[in-house]
Chains A and B, each alone.
Chain A
Amino acid sequence: MLKAIVTVMLKKGIFDPQGRAVQNGLESIGFEGIGSVRVGKQIELTLETKDRAEADSSVHEMCDKMLSNPVVESYSFEIVEA
C-alpha cells in the first residue's frame, strides 16, 4: 500500500483571510516577526496499488478533478509507503 499526502493551498497572490486571522492571533499573544501566515489543507489517501507511477498519475487526476480548484488553489503531493 502507498499513501499520498496532498497539500492544497490558495494560489500565491490570493488573499487568505484565515491566514491573516491566525497571524493576528499569534501576534496578539506576543509572537513577533511573523512575515505572513497562510492556511491550507492536507489530505491523506491510502492507495491499494504498489506502483508509484500509477499512484502519481491517479492522485494528479484526483487533484485536478476534485481535491483542488485550479481557479484559486494549487496542490502538491508526496507518495510514501503506507
Chain B
Amino acid sequence: MNWGVLLFPGSNCAEDCFHVIDKVLGKPVTYLWHKDTDLGDVDAIIIPGGFSYGDHLRPGAIAHLSPAMTAVKDFADRGGLVIGICNGFQILTEARMLPGSLLQNKGIKFLCQDQTLKLDNTDTPFTSEYDPGDVVVFPIAHNEGNYYAKPKTIAEMEQNGQILFRYCNADGEVSDATNPNGSINNIAGIINRAGNVVGMMPHPERSSDAVLGLSDGKGVFVSMLKHLEAKHGSDQ
C-alpha cells in the first residue's frame, strides 16, 4: 500500500508528511512531482502545506493548474483518498475538488499556534479513529485560512456531514470567541460529498509524533490506513 506526497515548488511541509507515513506508520511512501502526469501506483495522496508558487496571485491559484493535479482529479474520481493540508486545502478549493475558498484571516495576522479543534463527522475514512465531539490539538500556520462558501453551500455541507473539524476552545466550545481566522461556522476541515477528498487548514502531520509534543493528529493518518487496509482486504 503506497502513499504519495505531492511536491510543488514552494511546498514546505512535505517532509513532515513523508516522515509520518514512513516512520510513524511504517508504510511505503514516495514523493510525486507537480509535473508528473502519471502518479504511479499510489493508494492515497497527501497535498502538503507550504507556499506553492510563492502564493502568487492567490494561494493555490497556479499550483492547481499543474499537470499532476489533472492526475489527482482522475485519482479522486476513481475513489482514491486525497488529503490537502493548509496550502494543500487551498489548492483543492482552487481546483474545485472541494467547495468554497480560503480568504485572508479576518484579523489580517499570519497565525502560528497550537489550536484546539472539535471533531464533527467521524464516520469518514479520515476521522474514524476519533469520536464526535472529541477535542484535539493540531498546529495551525496560515495567513489565508478563513473558510468561505455561499450560505446555501454551507447549509448543504452541514446537512451532508461534510464538516470534519471546527475551531474551538479547550472545553470544546465553538463560538466567535474561539474562531481564530473568521471561518464560517468555525470550519477548519471539510470533506467532499463523495467522502474521499479532505481539506483542512490545521496540520495533523505536525502533531503525529509524540517526540514533537503533540500526537492527536496521528489519528487522521491511522484512519486513512485502516480504511485502505480494509479496502485491500476486501479486494483480495
Q: Tell me the A residues contacting B by CB distance below 8 Å.
A: 10, 14-15, 17-18, 21, 41, 65-67, 69, 71-72
Contact = CB atoms under 8 A, between A and B. Distances in A.
B57 A72 contact: no
A69 B148 contact: no
A63 to B, nearest CB: 11
Contact of B103 (A66, A67, A72): A72
Given A17-B146, A65-B65, A71-B101, 10 more contacts: A10-B103, A15-B103, A17-B106, A17-B108, A41-B57, A66-B57, A66-B61, A67-B57, A71-B93, A71-B100
A66 to B, nearest CB: 6
Contacts of B107: 17
B149 interface: yes
- What band does the interface of chain B fall in when counting residues whose beta carbon is under 8 Å from A? 10 to 19
Contact of B105 (A10, A17, A65): A17
15 contacts: A14-B103, A14-B148, A15-B103, A17-B104, A17-B105, A65-B65, A66-B57, A66-B61, A66-B62, A66-B65, A69-B61, A71-B101, A71-B148, A71-B149, A72-B103
Contacts, number: 36
What are the nearest 4 A-B pairs in CB distance? A71-B101, A72-B101, A17-B108, A17-B104
A10 B103 CA distance: 10
